[in-house]
Amino acid sequence: MVCRLGAQTYDACYSFGSFEGELRDLIHLLKYGRVQTLARPLGKFLSSALPREQGFDALVPMPLHWRKRWERGFNQSELLAREVSRRTGIPVRKIVRRTKYTVAQAGLTSAKRRANMSMAFRTTASLDGQRLVLIDDVLTTGATAASCARALKRAGASYVAVLTVARVDRRMTAVVHRPDRLETSSLDSIFPGSSRYAQSGSTT
């Protein structure tokens, strides 16, 4: 799944699939169920969606604010970036910091999402024309990705592509599932044993 949204400050975005069904459940298990081993198969999905011929200089995981990272215990985007790096050889660079603690984006209008993310990021390095891949788990309106890409462009990046496991189809009614109510009937078809984690609430 590909989109080109230069007006959003990033130059292109690539997603493995739609944020629904089993793919949505796997992302929730990683992000909220803390099943960090799921980063490996999801990273494989990400790698398959990245066009290798583009010639990127680095993978940049979407940063979490320190408070949110402390609450969760890890940054899922960083785990995914490491898996993509392992498969592609493109180095991971953690060169963006989240300086603004933002409220949850779920449930906000597009305009409120943009306002929520305004000036939320700053870079820690000069990028001098580099071509970067910004990695995250889900693309919804693109407000978070646009804000982060803007910071990368201000630091000198010449090209920023966004790579996500899934993308929300804005034509469909969004449904928010609680992590303890994940649909697990056929998760094993994607990642054997994943339904066991969802049902038991196990974490790593």
Q: What is the CATH number of the domain that holds 111?
A: 3.40.50.2020
pLDDT band for 102, please (50, 70, 90 cuts).
low
Segment 178-185 mean pLDDT: 37
Q: How many domains does the chain have?
A: 1
Please indicate, yes or no, if residue 202 is contained in any of the structural domains: no
Tell me the per-residue pLDDT of 73-88, one tens digit each, with 9 for 90 and over: 899 999 999 999 999 9
Tell me the per-residue pLDDT of 122-163, one tens digit each, with 9 for 90 and over: 888 889 999 999 999 999 888 889 989 999 999 999 999 999
Please indicate, yes or no, if residue 203 is contained in any of the structural domains: no
Q: Is the pLDDT of residue 198 over 70?
A: no
What is the pLDDT at residue 132? 97
Phi, psi for residue 95 in degrees, rounded to 5: -115, 10
| Nearest Cα residue to 81 out of 204, 163, 142 | 163
Kindly tell me the burial class for residue 105, based on how many C-beta atoms sit within 10 Å of its own C-beta (0-12, 13-18, 19 or more). Answer: middle
**Which residue range is the domain that position 44 belongs to?**
2-195
In the chain, what is the straight-line distance between the N-terminal and C-terminal CA atoms, in Å? Answer: 31
Please indicate, yes or no, if residue 200 is contained in any of the structural domains: no
Please indicate, yes or no, if residue 204 is contained in any of the structural domains: no
Tell me the per-residue pLDDT of 18-36, one tens digit each, with 9 for 90 and over: 999 999 999 999 999 999 9
**Mean per-residue pLDDT of the chain:** 78
Please indicate, yes or no, if residue 133 is contained in any of the structural domains: yes
Give the helix/strand (H/E) hosting 17. strand 12-18
Output the DSSP codes for 65-121. PHHHHHHHSS-HHHHHHHHHHHHH-PPB---EEE-S-PPP-TT--HHHHHHHHTT-E
Please indicate, yes or no, if residue 201 is contained in any of the structural domains: no
